[in-house]
Amino acid sequence: MIPVKIGDKGVVTKVDSNGDWYNYCEKNWANAVILTEEAQNKEYADGTEIPDVDIESYFVWIPKYSYKLFDEQLGKYENASGTLDSEKQNRAIEIKFGLDNTKDNGKIDGEPTCKTPMLENKVQGKSGDSGQCQEGYWMTHPAFLAFEGTTGLWVGKFETSKKNTSDIQIKPNVSSWRSITIGESFKKSKEYKQDLQSHLIKNTEWGAVAYLTQSIYGRCDKEKNTCAKVSVNGSNAFITGRTNTTSYFNDSLEASTTGNYSGIYDMSGGASELMASIMLDTNGTTEVYGSSILKDEDLNDPKYYDVYSYNADHTHWERRILGDATGEVGPFGSSGLNGVSSMWGGWANFVYSDKPWASRGGDYSDGELAGVFFFACGSLTGSKYRGFRVVLAP
């Protein structure tokens, strides 16, 4: 992976990783690229441009952090009108970067902390568990605990696309890879860069990006006490890195999680993205509901997926995982069993018996109902409206 800066018009420049590479306080997130096989032997001096034709994939670094729990008890359909909550939307989620894990009865800057609910083998704890965590406590985000020793995650900068008929690439201005089943996207993501623990993004990892976006390091202005919504990628051709009809290289900055070229794209609209986040079976055993699409050996390492308890309907406030950007972003307006989040008005439909696999972000046709905090559920088959995203956990 080569450290880069992405400047005006999306120009990619090689940088010295020991130099002025990124600054999260100024909303400049660290970016890196993986070269194509044909360009692997090329040498790029610091400060020189790397042409797009030499780049196979773009990634953005999400550093390990703790966040202050907010609305931990929310998630029920308390807002019957479904109206947006401007106070909630403009409230920045509080984040502190750091490699030390929080613990019960600990302190961060004099404020209480709690141990992230996890099982002994570093697998995500039972969905719905809070342990000693409560609103106002600091907690290490669970996305950074599943992979032993990780200091952060490299998240695909764009929705995944095809380099040829079967290989992964992650680039702007190409059509995203869709009509792929959850099983295929799960396997393709794991096979991509096994030495870097590549995998299909999980709900908790999506949540880590969403919370960083809804912070002063992303789309929130500390002085003005306002936050901005990530614009919808409205491309009906599912072209990556766009807003409605704009090109990534021109003026699609509002579709970025930072409002500049250093952020992550396609998290609002484009294609709705499949998550490696699935539901236990009716007996609550470790057999994953609907997992026949995957072989047993595909599911032998639970750090690669989130697990939620079984339910026959969309009810999620007792099944959320702290940090997964679902149950903490209520209250919700209700329409039958469907919800609309007061956090930017995205759909809020949790996994249930008929649709046991999670999806995020919404697709272009959802319009303003799409968004970083949109969560929904999907069947096991592929759809032209659903794509996927790759994460690396080095």
d(CA 17, CA 302) in angstroms, rounded, equals: 33
Provide φ and ψ at 33, rounded to 5°: -130, 155
* 184-193 contact pairs (CB < 8 A, 24+): 184/382, 185/160, 185/274, 185/388, 186/276, 186/294, 186/298, 186/304, 186/305, 187/294, 187/298, 188/388, 189/160, 189/276, 189/388, 189/390, 189/391, 190/304, 192/168, 192/390, 193/34, 193/392
Distances (CA, A) of 90 to 214, 378, 387: 9, 30, 29
pLDDT digits (tens, 9 = 90+) for 65-87: 999 998 755 445 454 455 566 77
pTM, to two decimals: 0.94
Q: What percent of the chain has pLDDT over 90?
A: 58
pLDDT digits (tens, 9 = 90+) for 118-169: 877 666 778 888 999 999 999 999 999 999 899 999 999 999 999 988 899 9
d(CA 113, CA 335) in angstroms, rounded, equals: 36
d(CA 185, CA 145) in angstroms, rounded, equals: 23
**Concatenated DSSP letters of 246-284:** --TTTT-GGGSSSSSTTS--SSSBSSEEE-SEEEB-TT-
Mean of the pLDDT values across residues 25-43? 95
Q: Which positions ≥6 away from 103 have C-beta within 8 Å?
A: 113, 114, 115
At 289, the pLDDT band (50, 70, 90 cuts) reads: very low
Q: Is the pLDDT of residue 292 over 60?
A: no
Nearest partner of 61 among 149, 155, 164, judged by Cα? 155
Determine the distance from the C-alpha atom of residue 73 to the mean position of all C-alpha atoms in its chain, rounded to a whole number. 22
When mean pLDDT is compared across 49-53, 160-164, 293-297, 342-346, the lowest value belongs to 293-297
Instruction: Give the HSE-up count for residue 244: Cα atoms under 13 Å, Cβ half-sphere.
Output: 3
d(CA 266, CA 356) in angstroms, rounded, equals: 23
CB atoms within 10 A of CB 25: 9
d(CA 124, CA 188) in angstroms, rounded, equals: 23
What residues does each domain of the chain span? 2-64+151-198+210-255
Judge whether 265 and 238 are in contact, CB under 8 Å: no
d(CA 212, CA 104) in angstroms, rounded, equals: 23
Give me the residue label for tokens 């919504």: 229
Pairing mode, if any, of strands 272-274 and 386-387? Answer: parallel
Say what the pLDDT of residue 75 is.
47
Q: Is the pLDDT of residue 334 over 70?
A: no
Judge whether 67 and 93 are in contact, CB under 8 Å: yes
Mean of the pLDDT values across residues 251-278? 92
